[in-house]
Structure formats: structure tokens, C-alpha cells
Amino acid sequence: MIEEPRADEAAATALLDRERSILQFNRRVLAQARRADVPLLERLRYLTIVSSNLDEFFEVRLADVIEQAKASGANAAVTALAAVAHELIDEQYALFNEELMPALQREGILILNHAERDAAQRAWVARFFETQVRPLLVPVSLDPSHPFPLVANKSLNFIARLGGRDAFGRENSIAIVKVPRVLPRVIRLPAELCGGAQGFVLLTSVIRAHLDELFAGRTVESFSQFRVTRDSDLEVDEGDVQNLRQALRSGLTTRHFGQAIRLEVVNSCPRELSDFLLEQFALPEASLYKVNGPVNLVRLTQLIDQASGDALRFPPFEPRWPEQSLPRGQSIFERLREGDLLLHHPFESFEPVVQFLREAVHDPDVLAIKQTIYRTGSQSVLMDLLIEAARRGKEVMVVVELKARFDEEANINWAERLEAVGAQVVYGIVGLKTHAKLMLVTRREGTRLRRYLHLSTGNYNPRTARLYTDIGTLTADPGLTADADAVFLQLASQARVKAPQHLLTAPFVLHRRLLRHIGQVADAARAGRPARIVVKVNALTDTALIDALLQAGQAGASIDLIVRGACMLPPGRPGVSERIRVRSVVGRFLEHTRVMYFRWGEGDADEALYLSSADWMGRNMFRRIEIAWPVRDPALRQRVIDEALVPYLHDTLDAWALDADGRYRRVAEEGVSAQRALMQRYGGGTAWT
């Protein structure tokens, strides 16, 4: 196994904190919800994205920090992070209440609580409660034979303090009501009850208005919504299980009941009730989050989906088919024999990738299809096509990553369906996640076999391909296809194979090659030759790579880093990193492309550009199967530079600059947006102004 360097072996410079950097990213997303130039329902969507991101932060990142603190006794780190999270969440709810709710009301979109509903609306809500909600509620009054229930991760509940006595004459005062997950969280009122407005009620408001009816003969003296977030990382000792798929499926049943990390209640929750809940979940005071509004703002995505008003959403954008490079109707195999094809999503359609696989499935000369799957979703045309290929008798091999966080169940289900039709399914290498994105097709052409390959920076998921920026390459290059075949062979057989000549793979070569290229740039700078690095990734936390970048900058290289999320490198420190600039771009689409550009001289041979599935994190370099591939065609290389790097370096509307102290500042409030410019360039729809 390739060993990751220890943190004390690199980056002597004080680095920025990774978890704080993740929270800083969510602050940038929250800033999108403040922007007046963003349509109103999209502003609300950004607000819900922050809530979803924070859920994962507590479930995974803070859960890990807490575990580390238990081992080291460094509890101050947990307290400090909790303080930053509290501040961010308070800002989030203030924005919701003070800006977004009034703006929605001005547009005739009303979220009506019980006090705001008129008699007719209350009567409709009462009927809805009686017919649709009440039959699914099971209130539990606590006593020795009714202990505090097992509360699932992120489930919504009510806690109530009751007055009076129960049917058996006892004074048990605490009751819990679980809100069923099968019910919609946002309900639209009939138009005839709303006088031309769009009226909505939250499910919790419906239950709250009728809470007394659940406890006949008693009074509800106080109550609160509550929600607990738990450690949700699946921990499976891969070296100690016989069948990883079965072990993970078993683990999925217990994931919802991991260690409690965060408790959310409404800010009106009485102290005695919040203290009671903290005690039940064995949580300290710092883990209590009192919110001024609905517990779990993620549920408001249902309002966004139901509300009408085209002007309140981003104008529709339809990704463009790459007509100039791939005329419709042309065989993709025929086209690739002419040269490589580059696809830039979501500005260009993902459909050519689907068509590539569809053509392979239906072509009788195609003998074998091999593909990696990381996140593909519970519904996938690509997976359906692979199943069809196996049914047609083709050799189908699929490397399914069962440990793709929060996609484990969908991937297990696909693996079982593929195996049922005779496809060969493997789960990668013990201890390593298969994060590389490859699809390899082998076709008989005359007396020879020829391979065709798709490589991508992003997942095989047509839905997210419309929301994430990614770049894919379709190629028949013999060197790349042979390397890809060797990768699949190694993933299946775990045997030593000839080292790839063109693909850079982790955990074997990628990290060393990146360090070598950074070193070449540093040497060029010391010699007075052109020395340039531009890297676009989602995260930069690997200490050895950071240290190499710092040394290259100190040698005189000019370095630009476009890092969407967590970045531990502090730019702009005198004598340390003043030649390094870090920016983050947060726009309509989620930035997901990984591009690496190095120049260490003036000649064509003194330049390298790679696309990659890997971020610059230790886990990607040493604990995952990753790939990077060179873009060698001069026209395609220039296109990557012109579309994926240069616009982002000149973005003045969606870009944020990282300061030496770890804070981000918006570059400008107006100007040029890289994403909008690309939308306009491809002409698939109207970029909003």
C-alpha cells in the first residue's frame, strides 16, 4: 500500500483550518442567497443548499473532529468550530426571516402559520390534518414502559410537556411525536382559498395547530420541534468482512442511529425541554442550535418546486449538442477515429456520453464494455444500458464503488441488478475508493480489436451533469485506451500490471508526478525562465502539495489556484506566499472541473495540462483510485485553457479572493461571470442579466 506522508513532513508554514474553510465555503453559498441579481426562488434554493451542506458537515466532518478530540483531549477545537457554525446558522435564519420571507410575500408567495390563516384556510387545514396526517401519527407519552424513543438521524419530531393526568391517572408529563417522513413537508393550499396569492403551509404548522387533539383530556403546556443530526459515516472494517456488499447493506440499517452530534430546536423551546433532549442524546450545551424558523430549511425545496413564476427562477438553459465536433447522426466510433472529442458540461450536453454507450450496446461488433460507477443515482439510463448490454451477451464489467458516501444503497441495488443479468461486478480494492471515471468499449473491426474510451472529471450521472461543471474526453488513442484497460485489469485481478504510460493513477503515480511538475516550475523560476501554475480543483488540503506550491511561489513562480471549497494554503503572506493567489467561484452551477496546468519554460515541451477525477487532498492521492490524463491535442488543450481556466481567473462577479488570514472577500459586485459567459458562448439558453 502506498503510504501518505505525515503532516509533520511537509508544510512547515501555518496552514488554514480545513473545517473552518468548509464553513467559509457555505458562507459564500449563503451570499448567493443575498444577491439581488439572483432570481428570488433561486436565492431560497441557495439557502436550502447551505442547510443540506451543513447537515453533511455535522454528519461527517464535525463527527470526525469530535472523535479526534476524544482521543487527543483537544475539545477546544470542537467548541471553536461549533461557535462558527452557530454564527453561520444564525445568519442563515436572519436572511430567511428579514429578506427572503418579505420578498416572497411581495411576490404573492405566502407561508401561512396558524395565526395568519383565515377561517376557510383553517377549516381546510383541519380536514387535511384529520384525513391525511393524524392517521399516521403515534404520540408516545414517556414513562418506564415507554422510554424515550430511538430518534433517527435528521428525522423531524415534536416534544411536548403535558398538563393533567393520562387515562390511567398518572402525571407523565413528556411526550414525543414523530413526524412521518412519507408526508410532504410543504403543502400548497387550494387557489380559491388564497385570493390570487400562492398559499403554503408547513406540515409542522399543521401538526402544531392540532397538537392538543393528540392528547385528549390533557393540555399541551409547552412544545417544540426538534431534530437530531448523527454521525453518519459508515464504518466497515474491509479487512475483516467476507462480503463487503452484505456488510454495507447491514450497516445502512444502523447508519440512522449513530452518535448524536447536533440538536436543533426552535428558539421558543423552553429551557427544560431542550435540557431534557440534550440529556437524552448525551450532548453538551454547544451542540444545541436554537433556530428562528422552521427546523430544517432543506424542506423548503418542496416550496420552490411547487411555486409558480418563471421570473423567479433562472431562465431555462438547455445544454448544446456539440454539432460542430460531432454532427448528429454520425457514429461516435467513426468520429473518434478522426480524433479526440472534448465535452464541457453543462454547457455542452451529456447526451453524447449516453449515445456512446447506447451505440456500443446496440452495435453487434462491440464485444466488451467496462465502466466505473461512483455516483449515478437511483435512476440511470446508463445503468439500464449496461444491463441491456449484458442481456445481449456482451462482456460487461462494472466497478461499482459501494462506499460512495450517501449513495451506498443505490449502488448496492445497481450491483445486484447487474449481477442478476450476468455482468461481472467488482467493488474495487480493499481500503481504496474507486473514484476514477472511465468507460472503455472494445470493438471488433475487421481482423483487429479496437478500443474506445470516455474519461471524465465528473460522475456518470445525467442529472448532475446539468448542474455541475465537468469536462469529459472521448478518445480512441491507443495509449490512453491501453492504460485504461490496465486500470480495469488491476481493479479486477489486483495483480501487478505494467505501469500506465499516459494516465496518471492514484495511489501510485499521481501525487509524485504533480510534485515533480511543481518542482520543474520552481526550477524554471530560479533559472529565470517562464514559470506558471494554474490549478482548478474542489479542495486543496494535501500538505505535501501545499508545501511544494509554497516553495515554487517563493522561487518566483506565478501561481493561481481556483479552489471551490476547502483550501488550507494561505496566499499573500509576505515572504511565504505573496506570488500565490487563491480564488473561489460560486455561481449558478456547482464548480466541479479539475484542471492542472504547468509551464516551466518557453517551448511546447515545457508545458503540461491534465484533466483529473482527483482533488488535491490526501484521501484522493493515497486512499482512492483516481486518474489524471493529459490533453495533448493543441486545439483541445487551448480550448480547456480558454474555457476552464482563463474565464475563471477574470471572473469579477461570482469570484471570491482568499486573504492570508483565511477570510474570503468578494472580488466585485458587478462585472464578468465565467459561467454566464460560457452559457452565452454555447447559446443553449438565455443567461440572466
What number of CA atoms fall less than 13 Å from residue 223's CA on the CB side? 24
Task: State the catalytic residues.
Answer: 435
What number of CA atoms fall less than 13 Å from residue 272's CA on the CB side? 8
DSSP string for 364-422: TTEEEEEEEES---SS-HHHHHHHHHHHTT-EEEEEE-TTSTT-HHHHHHHHHHHHHTT
Decide if 153 contacts 252 (C-beta within 8 A). no
Contacts made by residues 665-671, CB under 8 angstroms, sequence distance 24+: 666/31, 667/583
Cell of 48: 436550502
By three-state DSSP, how is residue 163 classified? strand
Spatial CA neighbour of 227 closest among 261, 255, 271, 203: 261
Find where cell 390511567 sits: 168
Find where cell 448542474 sits: 467
Reply yes or no: is the peptide bond before residue 346 cis, omega within 30 of 0: yes
Decide if 202 contacts 189 (C-beta within 8 A). no
610 residue type, one letter: Y
Q: What is the largest CA-CA distance in the chain?
A: 90
Decide if 535 contacts 613 (C-beta within 8 A). no
Give the whole-angstrom CA distance, residue 206 versus residue 669. 41
* 544 backbone dihedrals φ, ψ, rounded to 5°: -70, -40
User: Looking at the chain, how many residues does it have?
Assistant: 689
Query: H or E stretch including 45?
Result: helix 40-56
> Which of the 8 DSSP states describes residue 348?
B
Q: How does strand 186-188 pair with strand 174-178?
A: unpaired
Cell of 440: 472503455
Decide if 458 contacts 425 (C-beta within 8 A). no
Spatial CA neighbour of 571 closest among 101, 16, 62: 16
